[in-house]
Chain A
Amino acid sequence: MRFPYGPAAFSMLILAILSGAWLLGNPVPPKKATLVMWTFAKTHYDAYKQAIPSFEAKHPGVKVDLQLVSWQAVTSRLQAAFLSDLDVPDLVEVEISAAGSFFRGPLKDVGFRDLTDRIKQSGLYDRMVQARFAPYTSRGRIFGLPHDVHPVMIAYRRDIFEQLGIDVSKIETWDDFIAVGRRVTSPGKRYMLELPDSESSRFEPLLYQRGGGLFDPQGNCIMDNEIAVQTMLFYVPLVAGPNRIASDLGGGQIFTRAVEDGYFLCMITPDWRSKTIEVDVPKMRGKMALMPLPAVYPGGRRTSTWGGTMIGITKHCKHPDLAWELALHLYLNKDDLAQRFRDTNILPAVKDAWDHPAYNEPRPYWSNQPIGRMYAELAPYVPFQYTSPFVATAKAKLSEALVACVQYYKQHGDKGFEEFVRKRLKQSADEVRRLMRRNPY
């Protein structure tokens, strides 16, 4: 008998039946892993891959599925997974600038488990740098264990500094630094410092150094307070106007070339970036060195913080105790952390790990400086960095204010600059507050 609707329709029908039968006969196998963990950093992924077998050996029958998910995807995929209750991992590492966005809505709806009691009862709150809990805290509850401290220093071209006769031991404050910078900067050819004039990623560490921030501990927007105004008045003349000593070209290959050419002499460098520089600018081995951040005033804080990661346990997790053990296994094991420091230069947040010999090892790239010890000595002074679900908006608004202030300064110089800075920062902060007022939760 012939199929009445022609061979095309008949083929489609057969294909549909065959594919349906195949799907029925080959259902998606159920996940075998006991715990699924996401991380966004390749360096973390590589380190955890080595650490997980010992955890699995300690817990027979337990299988950990570690997945590398891109930084942007962690934010959007995890948001989507939380919203849909599908494909939610048990543990997730979240980058500091995205963490706040997960704490939106009522506490009961936050996708991460409240770790406050576990952290305080286990003594971790005192064992770790307390300032590092702030970015992962909302309404007094802690939702993440900090992976790192990320103290900030300044990386500089030691060889050029020596040629120019600059003695870094005499650079104690920003005034000292700027005085040297004005002497050595040659616009378009060489700048003392790498600082952008179009976004606030380096402005924020300098704001934190002075004790400021985007939000206070209660989550109120404070990016127009006196500290922010003073930071802006300090920052803009560094990147704009006739006496500027800083510029920015971007990341990647262009950064490599700029450092090699001596276009930038200094870079604001948290521990993680010291590894990035090692990898991206390998030719500078032995020609680079680190010095503490200049203080705002004599005897002031010689560091700040830039970047960070937390690990959180999701409410979806069916084995929260096991997940907590895995988090501790990855974040507290001294020998693993020491090896991770050797591989990534990242100082762990747990203070008692810093007495490992790995942190005293001289690094040939950094002119044989023991950079682990140097970062560890600054780590206790790392400032608090409070967050809010509106942190992404606040960062964008701060960048807008910075660009506006730079443009004003280029056109008008010091005339009316302070008044403009106050007005512009208030405008940006008011826009954030207006958005926050819409939040009905």
Chain B
Amino acid sequence: MATRQTDISLAPSQVVRTSRWFALQHRFAPYLFVSPFLLLFAVFGVYPIVKSLILAFYVTNGPKSAVFVGVQNFVFLLSDDDFHKAVWNTAVFAFWSVFLQLPLSLGLALLLNSRWVRGRELLRLAFFSPNLLGQVFVGVLFSVLFIPQYGLVNRFLHFIAGIPLDTKWLANPDLVMPALVLTSLWMYVGFNMIYFLAALQAVDKDLYEAATVDGANAWHQFWAVTLPGIKPVAVFVLVMSTIGSFQLFELPYIMLNNSAGPDQAGLTIVMYLYQTGFVTGDLGYASTVGWTLALGVLMISLVQMRVTGAWKGGD
């Protein structure tokens, strides 16, 4: 209002100039405000993506030496046993992560959503807190817990099940993956529980009352009311857990002492990408691995969304 009064008191030529200035501002100001983001995204987002796509067709020794090899990197990838091993390990980890972690998270959320559990808030915090530590800390912690002969895990399992004290969780190729999955469960079950809790609390209570009136027991209510109610969140958690599992790197890297473990049992796709790019120094082949991983994760996510009917919207 004050501005308008001021405009009225200006000379006609000044009014024209001021209104042009505001017109220009209104037209270009939004672009000006988003330009820092666009600039940074172009430099640190778009350029590396395009560059890595180009690199995927080269064998490189740094940016100074690059030899164009066409699709040979992709052809080599098809017969690369290490890559196959990395894909298998990552897929096994993702499978167990999804099919153990999500039911456990949901079960925990149902339990901690119940009115009959005392100290729910404290328990929620306790189950969520491992996620606050970060993968590196958790990796160090569990590599100590899994120590043979003197480690807490072996001592406990020896006490309750009589397993040998010198069981080498992180030095036996058959036990590396169970150790990684157990560690990941400890870290992420509580994290995903929070998503499920939020979804459970958003389900309309009237639906439960209506179901009770119709004679539905708790099991029927879970299938007919709870699950459809939390489906969008469940699909989100499923997709994000799968993507997160395929990006696994820090946990095995720390727990297996900066290596892929015995018989490469802890080699994941991202770890293989890192080794290829930053240990062997072939950024071209590492880009090929990266793009294959990105396309693979995209495909799996699309399949998951299709199978769960997430594209149908609403329900």
A-to-B contact residues, CB < 8 Å: 1-2, 4-5, 9, 72, 75-76, 79-80, 82-84, 101, 104-106, 109, 188, 196-199, 247-250, 254, 257-258, 263, 389-390, 392-393, 396, 399-400, 403-404, 407, 431, 438-441
User: Is B280 in contact with A101, judged by CB distance below 8 angstroms?
Assistant: yes
Binds A, one of B111-119, B168-176, B188-196, B205-213: B168-176
A1–B275 Cα distance when bound, in Å, is 58
* Bound CA span A197–B149, Å: 16
The number of residues on chain B lying at the interface, defined by a beta carbon within 8 Å of a beta carbon of chain A, is: 44
- Say yes or no: A76 contacts B280, CB within 8 Å: no
Which residue of A198, A392, A431 contacts B280 across the interface (Cβ within 8 Å)? A392
Contact A258 B149 (CB under 8 A): yes
Contact between chains at B149 and A440 (CB < 8 Å): no
* B65 close to A400 (CB less than 8 A): no
Partner of A431, one of B22, B29, B81, B147: B81
CA distance A212 to B63 in the complex (A): 35
A-B contact pairs, 14 of them (CB 8 A): A4-B22, A4-B25, A75-B278, A75-B279, A83-B63, A83-B283, A101-B280, A104-B280, A198-B261, A199-B171, A199-B262, A392-B275, A396-B264, A403-B173
Q: How far, in whole Å, are A247 and B171 apart by their CA atoms in the complex?
A: 11
Q: Which of A84, A199, A250, A392 contacts B147 (CB 8 A)?
A: A250
Indicate with 1 or 0, residue by residue over B247-286, a CB within 8 angstroms of chain A CB atoms: 0000000000011111110000000000100111101010
A79 in contact with B278 given A198-B172, A248-B171 (CB within 8 Å):
yes
Chain B residues 155-198 with CB under 8 Å of chain A are 164-166, 168, 171-173
8 additional contacts (CB under 8 A) given A105-B62, A248-B171: A2-B2, A79-B281, A83-B62, A198-B261, A250-B171, A257-B150, A403-B263, A404-B263
Q: Chain B nearest CB: distance from A432 CB in Å? A: 11
A-B contact count (CB 8 A): 104
List, in ascending order, chain B residues with CB within 8 A of A254's CB.
147-151
Report chain B residues within 8 Å CB of A75: 278-279
Q: Which residue of B lies closest to A80 (CB)?
A: B278
Is A400's CB under 8 angstroms from B264's CB? yes
Chain B neighbourhood of A5, CB < 8 A = 29, 33
Chain A residue with the shortest CB-CB distance to B173: A403
- Does B39 sit at the interface, judged by CB under 8 A? no
**Which residue of chain B has the shortest Cβ distance to A75 in the bound complex?**
B279
* Cβ-based interface call for B69 (8 A): yes
Query: Does the CB pair B65–A106 fall under 8 Å?
Result: yes
CA distance A172 to B209 in the complex (A): 85
| Residue in chain B with minimal CB distance to A196 | B171
B164 touches A393 (CB 8 A): no
* Residues of the A chain whose Cβ atoms lie less than 8 Å from the Cβ of B285: 438
Once the chains are docked, how many angstroms separate the CA of A198 from the CA of B261? 8
Distance in angstroms between the alpha carbons of A4 and B34 in the assembled complex: 17
- Cβ of B201 within 8 Å of any chain A Cβ, yes or no, is no
Other-chain residue from B22, B148, B261, B279 in contact with A249 (beta carbon distance below 8 A): B148
| Nearest CB on B from A16, distance (A) | 8
Chain B residues, Cβ within 8 Å of A80: 278
CB-CB < 8 A to A198: which residues of B? Answer: 168, 171-173, 261-263
- Residues on B with beta carbons closer than 8 Å to the beta carbon of A403: 173, 262-263
Give residues of chain B (21-48) contacting chain A, Cβ–Cβ below 8 Å: 22, 25, 29, 33
**Contact present for B171 and A396 (CB under 8 Å):** no
Closest-CB distance, A291 to chain B (whole angstroms)? 26
- With both chains docked as a complex, state the minimum distance between the C-beta of A134 and any C-beta of chain B, in angstroms: 21
Q: Which residues of B contact A84 (CB under 8 A)?
A: 63
Mask, B232-244, CB within 8 Å of A = 1, is 0000000000000
B280 touches A250 (CB 8 A): no
Contact of A104 with B279 in the complex, beta carbons under 8 Å: no
B59 and A101 within 8 A (CB): no
Q: Which residues of B sit under 8 angstroms from A439, Cβ to Cβ?
A: 59
Give min CB distance, A69 to chain B, whole Å.
15
Q: Assuming A198-B168, A249-B147, A257-B150, is B281 touching A104 (CB within 8 A)? A: yes
Contact partners of A390 in chain B: CB under 8 A:
280
Contacts of A407 in B (CB 8 A): 173
A255 to B147, CA, bound (A): 10
Q: CA separation between A253 and B166, bound complex, in Å?
A: 15
The answer, among A9, A72, A197, A440, for a CB contact under 8 Å with B69, is: A440
CA distance A400 to B173 in the complex (A): 10
* Shortest Cβ distance from A102 into B: residue: B281
CB contacts (< 8 Å) of A441 on chain B: these are 61, 65, 67
Using CB atoms, name the residue of chain B closest to A98. B279
Chain B residues contacting A79 (CB-CB under 8 Å) are: 62, 278, 281
Are B279 and A440 in touch, CB under 8 angstroms? no
Per the 8 Å Cβ criterion, residues 49-67 of B in contact with A are 59, 61-65, 67
User: Given A249-B148, A389-B281, A431-B81 in contact, is the A440-B264 Cβ separation under 8 Å?
Assistant: no
What distance in Å separates the Cβ of B18 from its nearest Cβ neighbour in chain A? 10
Q: How far is B65's CA from A104's CA once the two chains are assembled, in angstroms? A: 10
